[in-house]
Structure 1
């Protein structure tokens, strides 16, 4: 009840000016559609005009709108596990069901009440924008980019991990497991490139000489990254299984999981960074203090929980559950300080002890990013899991500390050596031993999407506003990283100087990363604001101009040069995530809202979508 009272007080403060206005002057501004009042539009008018909705002379429909928003906000908190439904709210919901369906409230079954609090209920306000329609022409152009770039891979490097468009050959930076095929196959399916999809399927399932076959049969005798294999290979196979219901892909996923499972055989349950599937020996890198990386160890639960759900084999759940239990057992010494902020985790953890190293470095970019991403995504993917609220709480704690300690706000940031500048810039910095380091890598741009996902069921409303404000500013900044360069492409790392109010790239290569177009995708799905499609299209056109050659799409060595497309300024690789993420997010940005409905699907950190499971009930 206290939460409901806080919401009621907040509503009074934020939308009521306590000034009586003339009813006939404002009544015309209330939007009506098919005889029903649009609650969202009415509330926008309330906010804008400071209407006193508590005045008994105010329109009945407007007062009803406020009541419905309160009910919907309450429903969001019930769905998130923050509150249990009380009898008064349930009675209000019964009244609403009766008015909208004609069913007598005394006969409304409990199952319908439960459904009304579910994410798919029609009785709850829609979170995602409803004005999103397909732009077929732009989707066709992006599809052709996929056909051309993946076609070059098929021609020059099929079966290798990547294609080298300048050398006209393949490379194996992921262990030689046909990584491009796996990363591309769900994108091929989503884009309806059926011929390419069928060739990819045949290779992954039937080719006994393929790299994936070596991995699946544990004949691969070299170290491979557990993290990369999980997000790319296991995630890719689970995704294409969910998209097609082809059991052969699920069988392959089980084989891959078995191949990397020995990495979890440590004293603490924190997996090794690398595993040799043949010898079953694991290791961590010496340059990471022989420790596991937070983002590696903490980015497993979405895939392993999904595998446990699809196979009904609890052991996959146990692997990831034990790892997360160890990580989440960490307690900061001074949770309200910048030295050890609540919700932020050090970057390195020992597999032998399960303890974090003493170095107090925190980042939501490289080395930390997907750990925070999976807190909210795993929470969303399994809405009926027992105890899932602890992931929600940890995500909210982490984002609270991000907002307190890791966001530097500038009235203006100017690109060094140019006249280009960005006003009201929010810069995302790292923390090292209690001080802010104004260093932002492109990977950190993912955070906008996580914040948009987290805002849906957040409470109270000031948290929602904080998340969406940061998401909007981060997306604007990350787009500016592209827009300010002569090539139209972003540097990989940007540094800000607080004294001069300037920023500049320190790593000026562009390797086809997806995080900015990912942020734009989520912001567009949330708001429906066409500026995000405009930004996505600008970035795609720059990619097309700078990446594309007759023999494949390459990255760029220096984005500051307009002549970046010259051969000497190209690298020699098409990244597998260009197929999995970059082109997929661009394509879906121009699709309709029900193309990979975000109420029913969750993207893993490699942009492989898996279905939300309401059958998964294992405890978090």
Structure 2
């Protein structure tokens, strides 16, 4: 019998398996020790504490608001659950503080702050008065014509989205009127055939829950339960994955449903905060169970995506034990020994639970809030759901490696922006990540996310990145003719985000001509410069920008969100000045006779007012003005150590020890 032919693949595989076996043997003892200690902690903890019924650290009665006759609860369930995941047990953990320890302000500082706060409240008051007079109980006000629009089901999106804003701004009379009207909204039918489950969750469920958390009004909790019962029906599919673009009419008739084969990761992965909070305040775990099933898939799929990460550096056992506060922390460190960093792509397949097949990755549109909710779920749950901290750690590490870049600017500003990443095969068939340097207003939330993560999950190195990303958005605002950032744009990346990056006007001009798909191979340097000047004039490009693809400003909140969060985290007073400059610019361009309007093109000359598009989404007052108001408020108002904001800026009470 001749000897077998040498197979390098099998040989390398055998070597690899031998190495892995040695590693696994080395880990057996520490992992066994971790599990043993964990069993002790778990047994002693859970044997002494009953099932969790916590609301901001206080027990509440189970079974609240049980209304079996409600329309959406009476529908038959087609795909029965064999079991429901229970709410996490035990007392909330003592998590690190997020907010800066503010010193007492001077009388002059207070006077300036209150003057600015009042200006923001007046802008909100104008908008609310106009909504009340022209679009009451409709989804949106048309702020130029004075009409109304129903874009989110006809359930009074602006009203519900701003219940908590009214409370925060101490507009109690208006709040009472809005609650009285809002509690009469019927969610049994919709003005739309198809509703967006994600948008309905963050606006309506989030709006009612937040207003309840702030006021304690039981009517609001009942409405949150009604919305939750409606949305729960979207999960009645064979694999319990929700339908993100949901035919509410067919569902109301009790027809069979199944999850689609395509969805945006943000729309399926960003339901957990609202559903979990609803379970916490009602004591009913069914909503927690619904989104926990999604979380389990996200966690299982995270290491399978096409964007490669790097092995997380394993801590020493000494580090493990010196940092050990509880079993959850101990188990987290054990898992970190074997995990790689990665993020999810923007599109997924809920029908097959394939969350890793797409090749496009972004922290911006279509993916944003799935990452935003990871550290926020740690805060919301009082640290009782450590898997969210794990997933955030891996995602943040990958984002730092691939997503952030320093743009070349005429003032050599040391700022960062976030890029998208496409993973494509090169000539040799190897999958290679390629950056897409499209800047987005929507991605400006990332600075705030990292700032929260740096405190809550003790990642101090991320704070500098958080600041540079936030400064990148502030810089982009200031660089535009009206002081307002566009929806999307392009800039030229520096060779490295960590080294100096001197302004090179000729390099910028060549880059913008490449963006404009101009062939310059046969042109002289002078001709290239002249052609670039023409493109700059035609496209109204400020220095540093190679294109502005979407010139709108739709009253977005993401930039002021990060400015607010970073101010609360660092106490840096320069951020107050940046916020005020931004507010004044937005007011100047968007103010109408009634309220404020989205803008069609913010690149036109500063002497011309941008065209107002007669659109005012509910997030203008519910998010943008709320963040402007809060940054000029006492830091104790909606403290980040007591509340956590959902992606629609609705503050939920955190579970606290």
Question: Normalised by the shorter chain, which TM-score bucket?
Answer: 0.7 to 0.9
Q: Does 1:590 align with 2:632?
A: yes
* Secondary structure at 1:552 match in 2: coil
Larger relative CO (CA 8 A, sep 6+): 1 or 2?
2
Aligned length: 478
1:581 CA drift (Å): 0.6
User: Aligned match of 1:423 in 413, 416, 424?
Assistant: 413
Structure 2 equivalent of residue 362 of structure 1 = 361
1:222 and 2:264 correspond: no
Per the alignment, residue 169 of structure 1 pairs with: 147
Q: What does residue 470 of structure 1 align with?
A: 465
Match of 1:392 among 389, 396, 399: 389
Mapped to 2, the partners of 1:284 and 1:319 lie a distance apart of 15
Residue by residue over 1:573-602, the C-alpha shift from the partner in whole angstroms, topping out at 9 and shown as x without a partner, is: 111001111000000001111100111100
Deviations along 1:413-456, one digit per CA (max 9) or x if unpaired, are 24xxxxxx452232211111121110121111101111111111
Match for residue 221 of structure 2?
A: 250
Measure, in 2, the Cα distance between the counterparts of 1:455 and 1:298: 22
**Do the aligned residues in 2 keep the contact of 1:545 with 1:565 (CA within 8 Å)?**
no
Q: Is the Cα–Cα contact under 8 Å of residues 483 and 585 in structure 2 kept in the other structure?
A: yes
Deviation, 1:479, is 0.7
Distance 1:126 1:539, change over 3 A: closer
* Residue of structure 1 aligned with 2:293, choices 314, 317, 322: 322
Q: For residue 148 of structure 1, what is the aligned residue in structure 2? A: 126
Question: For the structure 1 residues 126 and 291, does the alpha-carbon distance in structure 2 shift closer, same or farther, using more than 3 Å as the test?
Answer: closer
CA-to-partner distance for each residue in 1:253-295, whole Å, 9 max, x for gaps? 111111122211233332111223332169899xxx9511111
Structure 2 residue matching 1:553: 3-state secondary structure: coil
1:186 paired residue number:
164
**Cα 1:486–1:384, aligned 2, differ >3 Å: closer, same or farther?**
closer
Q: Residue in 2 aligned with 1:510?
A: 553
Once structures 1 and 2 are overlaid, which stretch shifts more, 536-545 or 289-298?
A: 289-298
Q: Secondary structure at the match of 1:448?
A: helix
* Counterpart contact for 1:379–1:392, Cα < 8 Å: yes
Does residue 119 of structure 2 align to residue 129 of structure 1? no
Q: Does 1:118 align with 2:94?
A: yes
Aligned Cα RMSD in Å? Answer: 2.8
Shift, 1:194, TM fit: 2.2
- Flag the 1:538–1:263 CA change in 2: closer, same or farther, 3 A: same
Alignment partners' CA distance in 2, 1:406 and 1:351: 25
Q: Is the 8 A contact 2:264 2:347 kept in 1?
A: yes
Aligned equivalent of 1:610: 652
Q: Unmatched 5+ residue regions in structure 2?
A: 1-36, 42-89, 312-339, 424-432, 495-506, 509-543
Shift of 1:528: 1.3
Distance 1:336 1:223, change over 3 A: closer
Q: Is the 8 A contact 1:439 1:496 kept in 2?
A: yes
**3-state SS, counterpart of residue 424 of structure 1:** coil
The separation in 2 between residues aligned to 1:346 and 1:116, in whole angstroms, is 32
- C-alpha spacing 1:321/1:351, structure 2 compared with 1 (3 Å): same
Bigger drift between 506-515 and 267-276 goes to 267-276
Distance (whole Å) between structure 1 residues aligned to residue 229 and residue 437 of structure 2: 41
Q: Residue 278 of structure 1 aligns to a residue in which SS?
A: helix
1:48-447 → structure 2 map (5 Å cutoff): 118-119=94-95, 127-131=99-103, 135-206=113-184, 212-213=185-186, 215=187, 217-218=188-189, 222-280=193-251, 290-333=261-304, 337=308, 342-356=341-355, 358-385=357-384, 388-410=385-407, 412-414=408-410, 421-433=411-423, 434-447=433-446
Contact 1:513 1:582 in 2 (8 A): yes
1:495-517 residue CA offsets vs partner (Å, 9 max, x unmatched): 12338353242211100000000
Q: What is the rounded CA distance, in whole Å, between the counterparts of 2:616 and 2:97 in structure 1?
A: 42
Secondary structure at 2:409 match in 1: strand
Using a 3 Å threshold, how does the CA distance of structure 1 residues 600 and 344 change in structure 2: closer, same or farther?
same
Instruction: Give the Å deviation of 1:129.
Output: 3.5
Determine helix, strand or coil for the equivalent of 1:237. Answer: helix
The answer (yes or no) to whether the contact 2:305–2:342 under 8 Å persists in 1 is no
Q: Deviations over 1:160-179 (max 9, x none)?
A: 11111222200111111100
In the superposition, the TM-score normalised over structure 2's length comes to 0.68
Matches of 1:298 and 1:317 in 2, distance apart?
13
Distance 1:125 1:541 in 2: 32
Unaligned runs of 5+ in 1: 1-80, 86-113, 207-211, 415-420, 616-620
Q: Deviation digits for residues 220-268 of structure 1, max 9, x if unmatched?
A: 6621100000000000000000011011101101111111222112333
SS, match of residue 249 in structure 2? coil
* Aligned partners of 1:267 and 1:353 also within 8 Å: no
Paired with 1:382 and 1:132, the residues of 2 have a C-alpha distance of: 31
Residue 331 of structure 1 deviates from its aligned partner by 4.2
CA distance in 2, matches of 1:116, 1:328: 22
1:491 is aligned to: 486
Q: CA deviation at 1:610?
A: 0.5
C-alpha contact 1:269 1:326 (8 A) present in aligned 2: no
The whole-number CA distance in structure 2 between the counterparts of 1:377 and 1:354 is 24
SS at match of 2:250: coil
TM normalised by structure 1 equals 0.72
Aligned residues of 2:92 and 2:655 also touching (Cα < 8 A): no
Q: Deviations over 1:16-60 (max 9, x none)?
A: xxxxxxxxxxxxxxxxxxxxxxxxxxxxxxxxxxxxxxxxxxxxx
8 Å Cα contact 2:140-2:618 kept in structure 1: yes
